[in-house]
Amino acid sequence: MNPYDELESRFARQGAIEEAIQFLHWDAAAMMPRGGAASRAGQLATLRVVAHEELTRPDMADLLAAAEEDAGNRLDQWQRANLREMRRRWRHAAAVPADLVAALSEARSQSEGAWRAARPADDFAAALPGLERVLELTREAAAAKAAALGTGPYEALLDQYEPGGRVAEIDRLFADIEAFLPALLAAALERQAARPAPPEPHGPFPPAAQRRAARMLVERVGFDFAHGRLDESAHPFTGGTPDDVRLTTRYDAADPAKALMAALHECGHGLYKRGLPATWRRQPVGAARGMAVHESQSLLVEMQMCRSRAFAGFAAPLLSEIFGGEATAWQPEALYRRQIRVRPGPIRVDADEVTYPAHVILRYRLERAMVAGDLLPRDLPAAFNDGLKAAIGVTPPSDRDGVLQDIHWYDGYWGYFPTYTLGAVIAAQLFAAARAALPGLDDAIGGGQFAALLGWLKRHIHEKGSLFATGELIEAATGTPLAVAAFERHLRQRYLA
């Protein structure tokens, strides 16, 4: 076997193990009884070690070098991109010594456990030692990865979630957002306050009916239940594999919109996963491009499409039929206006799309400062509260609803936060391009016809897998480099027009 083919065969095997990890993780969140937690942790840890060993076998460096040597002669575009992604994955895996991998894994588990207890108790001090330990080891890993990747330490962490991501570009995009957002938020709130609030439907909304509604909506939007499921978990997420996509949502009997929008958000992730190039299953080039593009697909479905006036026209009569109750509350315009309500608050995951970027930009700056050593975890609560107050005028009423609200830092997901807002920016740019390419798109959405949009996304994003860098992918799909212009236009149109 030539070196490239040998690598493909190794990554296929490694990919199958990664898929197994996906399902064990989904099961832990959606199915597992609480008594299974300890043994599940052991199963996942073992499979992760095995997957890591597969990726860092002693001869991998030679195989990669040999395959790269004659890549120009024998490999086509997809194979070359695959080899590039193999190299990237290997760099991440091989950069960190095995004992640091183990120490970090252990520290993340312990810290996450401490956080689970500390958050409801509103006890930041109880979570602090774990956070400090995770940060210490994360900085060590970041330094090792930075040396291997030729980036800065924060960029090396970012690269795990957003391959090729650069702080200079994120700084520029986030500065552009900050240049218009405060004034836009103030204007949107003023305009919203000047109008009567939309009527509210009154529950209860039984979970069984919500489940029916969620299933119907994601199926109409294009989710294929022959290749996926929709279940419940404490935190909605998308797991599984391209051929077997596992969505979850959660049901609040008082408010069906939460479960439905969460299901549609995850549906966007799921459509992306399902649409990844079928010929490249389990190969690095067949994987999603990164978490920014992934989030763009969920936000395009949720924010751009499903919170649009057109979608409200489609969904309102269906929801009225399922939930019954007051007819006025299920008028399309009432539904639409509830879906685009702006309400600055302390909690990121409950934030509307206007204030959401402020939550993310704050976290991005704080985590960069912590990775750089310029901010200590013990000083984080004050920095967090001051930052949120400065950004959207809200002071968290407690650490529970402040610095303890997100799992990310405690569980070791450093460098992940910026992908949320990058995703929102990409989603707006893609949706604008799709609208330009597909005349009558709003009418189609209003009529419950989503195939044309989904086809456009498949062709331009899903089926490209990791063939291109994020910037190339977006520019090829939309004709312009990634910028915040479309996002700003979208917000102005929706909240101020």
Catalytic residues: 266
| Biggest CA-to-CA distance, the chain | 71
Under the binding rule (CB under 8 A), the answer on residue 23 touching a copy of itself is yes
Give, as ranges, the residues between 209 and 238 that touch a copy of itself (CB under 8 A). Answer: 224-229
Q: Which amino acid would we find at residue 70?
A: D
**Environment class of 363 (CB within 10 Å of its CB; exposed 0-12, middle 13-18, buried 19+):** buried
Residue nearer to a copy of itself on the CB measure, 281 or 435: 281
Least separation in angstroms between residue 37's CB and a copy of itself is: 9
Both tokens of 483, joined, read: 């910028």
Least separation in angstroms between residue 476's CB and a copy of itself is: 29
Under the binding rule (CB under 8 A), the answer on residue 389 touching a copy of itself is no
Least separation in angstroms between residue 282's CB and a copy of itself is: 8
Residue nearer to a copy of itself on the CB measure, 50 or 369: 50
Cβ partners under 8 Å of residue 15, min gap 6 = 281, 282, 283
Size of the site for a copy of itself (CB under 8 A): 37
Give, as ranges, the residues between 270 and 309 that touch a copy of itself (CB under 8 A). Answer: 281-282
Answer for which of 31, 186, 349, 372 binds a copy of itself (CB under 8 A) is 31
- Where does this chain touch a copy of itself (CB under 8 A) — which range of 34-42, 110-118, 165-173, 454-462? 34-42
Both tokens of 345, joined, read: 């608050």
Q: How many CB atoms lie within 10 A of CB 158?
A: 31
Distance CA(76)–CA(466), nearest Å, equals 14
Residue nearer to a copy of itself on the CB measure, 282 or 368: 282
Give, as ranges, the residues between 50 and 69 that touch a copy of itself (CB under 8 A). Answer: 50
Distance CA(453)–CA(237), nearest Å, equals 23
Least separation in angstroms between residue 219's CB and a copy of itself is: 12
Answer for which of 82, 111, 238, 241 binds a copy of itself (CB under 8 A) is 241
Least separation in angstroms between residue 331's CB and a copy of itself is: 35
Answer for which of 27, 176, 232, 442 binds a copy of itself (CB under 8 A) is 27
Residue nearer to a copy of itself on the CB measure, 245 or 303: 245
User: Which residues sit at the interface with a copy of itself, rule CB under 8 A?
Assistant: 13, 16-17, 19-20, 23-24, 27, 31-36, 38-40, 42-43, 45-47, 49-50, 224-229, 240-244, 281-282
